[in-house]
Amino acid sequence: MYDIGRGKRAEKAYGLDDVAIVPTKRTRDIDDVDLTWKIDAVTLDFPLIAAPMDSIMSPDTVIEVGRLGGLGVLNLEGLWTRYEDPEPVLTQLAAITDPLAATRKLQQVYSAPIIPELIDRRLGQIRAAGVPFAASLSPKNGRQHAEQVVAAGVDFLVIRGTTVSAQHVSSTTDPLDLKRFIHDLDVPVIVGGCANYHTALHLMRAGAAGILVGFGGGARRATRNVLGIEVPMATALSDAAAARGDYLDESGGRYVAVIADGSIGSSGDIAKAVACGADAAMVGVPFARAVEAPGAGYHWGPEAWHPTLSRGLRVHFDTIGSLEEILVGPSSVADGSMNLVGALKRTLASTGFTDVKSFQKAELVLV
């Protein structure tokens, strides 16, 4: 604890930029590295989840990510459930270059109502492809659409908000009782974002199959400027990993996945997130650079279209390759935005590890 002044103390918290992985005395063959991981009953090829953002995840790209071995998540409160045909809307958005005009247009197009029938149709399309997939709802809409989502055959329901607590207090509404909600549901639930040990532990106790750590959505700087809130990811993951261990003990063996969500811009960040204790990373930015990305070079999250308090910018990224190249290579760029899976394998091999779980024990330094 440091003294901010006579009236306030604070702990130091670290972001992924503050840490680096250091090699050890052993190295491994890259062919010996196995990136598979298990969450609830599902085993996936590598620990990457594509974030539920309209700029990257459409039914088609959710299918493609699943086909490649990852997990795609469709946002059920996005354009695909508000518009019979969202393509013209996406085209209009891609034609706007001014950031302020873009935000206003986002606020407008997302004011269209959610059409429940479209939820069935979009999820049905993905399910028909036979790949693992997930769908997301905000805490506010969780109850309303959850049964419908379960019926559609998703592998996971993701409940994702800027901050989700296991203890939401309201004097006027009847907030979502996460524990009962999760208990009553027939699919495993991934829930977040959360930011510290206690919230993580509470979400685990509420029955989550996985928890999202962080704020998600690329909105870190905006959240800092608008709300003054910030969750340095290295510290948040380390705290959540400690909660996972304590909950494993208190629950007699239930292992809840810790998923980094936000602040993940490169393959190096993914490696650091795991080395800080994550089981997987929910990623947005790298997918926004794919040829197939619905955003056509633009990237935005739900916080960008809030009707009265936009807290995220629509950001432009150059398109660099196919979803396949971005996930499994080959890569001709040296900035960590391509061949995410190959890079993670390389990091493990270079530092002497062969699986994700043991790599959580990799040595870090503060830089």
Site for a second copy, residues 186 to 205, rule: CB under 8 A: 194-199, 202
Question: CB within 8 A of 144, min separation 6: which ones?
Answer: none
The enclosing H or E element of 286 equals helix 285-288
> Least CB distance from residue 85 to a second copy, whole Å?
26
What is the chain's alpha carbon radius of gyration, rounded to the nearest angstrom? 20
**One symbol per residue from 106 to 145: x for binding a second copy (CB under 8 A), - otherwise; what is it?**
-x--------------------------------------
**Spatial distance between the Cα atoms of 292 and 96, rounded to a whole number of angstroms:** 19
**One symbol per residue from 40 to 79: x for binding a second copy (CB under 8 A), - otherwise; what is it?**
----------------------------------------
Site residues (CB under 8 A) for a second copy, limited to 13-32: 13-15, 19-29, 31-32
**Spatial distance between the Cα atoms of 47 and 337, rounded to a whole number of angstroms:** 16
Candidate segments 100-108, 143-151, 183-191, 291-299, binder of a second copy by CB under 8 A: 100-108
Q: Cβ distance 261 to 269 under 8 Å?
A: no
Q: Is 234 helix (H, G, I), strand (E, B) or coil?
A: helix
> Least CB distance from residue 58 to a second copy, whole Å?
24
How many Cα atoms within 13 Å fall on the side-chain side of residue 52?
28
> Least CB distance from residue 124 to a second copy, whole Å?
34
**Spatial distance between the Cα atoms of 141 and 155, rounded to a whole number of angstroms:** 19
> Least CB distance from residue 133 to a second copy, whole Å?
27
Question: CB within 8 A of 112, min separation 6: which ones?
Answer: 82, 83
Task: Report residue 22 as tokens.
Answer: 């250091």
| Binding residues for a second copy, total number by CB under 8 A | 114
> Least CB distance from residue 105 to a second copy, whole Å?
9
Site residues (CB under 8 A) for a second copy, limited to 254-273: 266-272
Site residues (CB under 8 A) for a second copy, limited to 281-310: 303-304, 307-310
Our CB check for a second copy shows the closer of 62 and 191 to be: 191
Our CB check for a second copy shows the closer of 147 and 251 to be: 251
Question: CB within 8 A of 87, min separation 6: which ones?
Answer: none
